[in-house]
Amino acid sequence: MAESRIGRVIDQATWRRFKMAGPTQPQVFDDAWDDQRIDAFYQDQKARGPRSDFDLIEAGYRGMRPDDFSRYIQVLSSAGHHLMETNDLGETVWDRIAQHASGAAYLTALPRTLTAN
């Protein structure tokens, strides 16, 4: 058992699944995303108001496993989103992902998308 930050006792499996992500660890949940869930996530992101393509990609990176993220990138690409958009610092999402220790699996989503089109 582990104690969460709010003082509730939870089992280790739940703690590993829902713990906060650190600066070099993307927030990933263990469950796989089917195509309907990926589409619902995309629709939810669009419904939150005007968001840059950078923000849409980053949201998927922070919440999905690498294989699911790759499929999400395909959805964004098919919808005409610019996958190489930069933020205010001139970085692409791919530049940021490359800085993370566990980002290599996510970086493969870009080449798969470009070769699929």
pLDDT tens digit string along 57-85? 999 999 899 999 999 999 999 999 999 99
Q: What is the largest CA-CA distance in the chain?
A: 49
Confidence of residue 4 (pLDDT cuts 50, 70, 90): very low
Residues in CB range of 60: below 8 A, 6 or more apart: 41, 69, 72, 73, 76
Output the six-digit token pair for 70: 């790759």
> 55, 89 in Cβ contact below 8 A?
no
99 CB-contact burial (10 Å; exposed 0-12 / middle 13-18 / buried 19+): exposed
